[in-house]
Amino acid sequence: MPVVNYEQYCQILDAAQQGDYAYPAINVTSTETANAALKGFADSNSDGIIQLSLGGGQFASGTCIKDSTIGSITIAEHIRRMAEHYDIFIAIHTDHCQPGKVDSFLKPLIEETAKRRAAGLPNLFNSHMFDGSELPLKENLAISVELLKLCADNEIILEIETGVVGGEEDGVDNSAVSNEKLYTTPEDMVDVVKALNGIGKFMLAATFGNVHGVYKPGNVKLSPNILKDGQEAVKKEFGDDYILDLVFHGGSGSDIQDIHETLNYGVIKMNVDTDTQYAFSKGIVDHVFKNYDGMLRIDGEVGNKKVYDPRSYMKAAEISMAKRISQACDDLKSTGKSIFKK
């Protein structure tokens, strides 16, 4: 059963924490991108996390339905069935859910898992993200406490965010956010633990200059030391054995040295979306450029069905995206470290 149960999910996160590596968390929008994620992880013998955003779920439901919840459930069911044929562990996660979408997206998905559990079936989703970073920290944590209780009742891990990831992703534009909000403080991290400790397992997306989107190398100015300072403040408050499971958002364009430094400070999950979107599209564009005359019916010709058959270019896209995921596994040092045993 390669889609993890709660105990297995905790085990792979703990293994990453203890081994100073992290898992790529790959955003998907379709069965094709989900297949690419599974292939990329399997090719690297890495456990991994596959996730859906509100926009990704909406896209997956089609242009008529446009329902984030239904689309996310559909892709999660596909991932679960396909993952059974791989020898790696996979966790299924949902990405950024802002406060205004909790009742229409996050809670219905938790309820879907609760229904499955009541019927004796495994969880559909293993973890969810609540992004309350637009709220004052006190309000953010109040909602986080409520959601963590619901998650804990259903053996789901909750990810929350403090501070704001800059840039634009999935229709949410934080490019004009003031600079100080791009950095989580040690006091914020201590307050998170005070509020959530003992309720259930959680991850924290702490911000240290992260920016969503794509930038040339060197244009994103990260301060990973913020994570180190926060972990030290948490240890001082709760004991030397306490360490937060941290999540790195907005990593596109980051220097590999900065990425590696964050692994020393408790980052066990890094979201990868922009670069895999590009890789998927590049596979299609390469196919089109190489087969232009066959893709279109030009000058009265009939084209070439073998090259305009969507399967031909979607296969190329899957392979291209899977290669980029394997690179992410290398970058995050998870390659070859799957703990799955047949």
What digits encode the pLDDT tens for the residues 32-80?
999 999 999 999 999 999 999 999 999 999 999 999 999 999 999 999 9
- Token pair 């299609």: residue: 284
Q: How far is residue 320's CA from residue 44's CA, in Å, rounded to a whole number?
A: 14
Six token digits for residue 173: 């534009």
Q: Given this model, what pLDDT does residue 252 score?
A: 67
**95 in active site:** yes
pLDDT surpasses 70 at 10: yes
Integer angstrom CA distances of residue 93 from 135, 269, 340: 22, 11, 19
Distance from C-alpha of 323 to C-alpha of 329, rounded to nearest angstrom: 10
pLDDT at 177 over 60: no
| pLDDT given at position 179 | 53
Taking only the tens place, the pLDDT of each residue in 155-171 is 999 999 997 554 444 44
SS3 268: strand
Dihedral sign, Cα of residue 65, residue 69, residue 72, residue 78: negative
What is the 3-class SS of 222-239, one letter each residue?
CCCHHHHHHHHHHHHHHC
- The Cα 228–Cα 231 span in angstroms is 5
Q: Which residues of 278-317 are buried (b: 16+ CB within 10 A; e: fewer)?
A: bbbebbbeebbeebeebbeeeeeeeeeeebbeeebbbebb
One CATH from 3.50.50.60, 3.40.50.150, 3.40.1190.20, 3.20.20.70 for 6-331: 3.20.20.70
Query: Which residue would you say has higher pLDDT here, 212 or 157?
Result: 157
Task: Name the active-site residue from 95, 131, 273, 275.
Answer: 95
Q: How confident is the model at residue 175 (pLDDT cuts 50, 70, 90)?
A: very low
Give me the pLDDT at residue 164, please. Answer: 57
User: What's residue 183's pLDDT?
Assistant: 83
Q: Pairing state of beta strands 172-173 and 166-169?
A: antiparallel
Query: E strands of 101-177, at which residues?
Result: 127-130, 157-162, 166-169, 172-173
Residue 254 DSSP one-character state: -
Q: pLDDT value at position 100?
A: 97
- The answer to whether the beta carbons of residues 158 and 200 sit under 8 Å apart is yes
Element (H, E) at 17: helix 6-19
The helices-and-strands tally (H runs, E runs) of the chain is 14, 11
Mean per-residue pLDDT for 131-150?
A: 96
What CA–CA distance (Å, rounded) separates 123 from 113? Answer: 5
Return the H-helix or E-strand segment holding 305.
Answer: helix 305-308
In the block, tokens 């922009």 appear at 274
Give the separation between CA 75 and CA 92, rounded to whole angstroms. 10
Residue 213 clears pLDDT 90, i.e. is over it: no
Going by pLDDT thresholds of 50, 70 and 90, the confidence category of residue 214 is low
Strands 90-94, 202-206: pairing kind:
unpaired
In tens, the pLDDT along 113-139 reads: 999 999 999 999 999 999 998 899 999
Among candidate residues 192, 181, 179, 182, the one with its CA nearest the CA of residue 233: 192
Residue 218 pLDDT greater than 70, yes or no: no
Q: pLDDT tens for residues 246-272?
A: 999 877 667 899 999 999 999 999 999
Q: How far apart are the C-alpha atoms of 91 and 25, rounded to whole Å?
A: 9
SS3 23: strand
Residue whose pair of structure tokens reads 């995921």 in the numeric block: 325
**Predicted TM-score (pTM) of this structure:** 0.92
CA distance 35 to 128: 21
Q: Where are the domains of the chain?
A: 6-331
CA-CA distance, 270 to 259, in Å (whole number)? Answer: 9
- What is the rounded average pLDDT for all residues in the chain? 92
Query: Using CA of residue 96, residue 100, residue 106, residue 108, what is the dihedral sign?
Result: negative
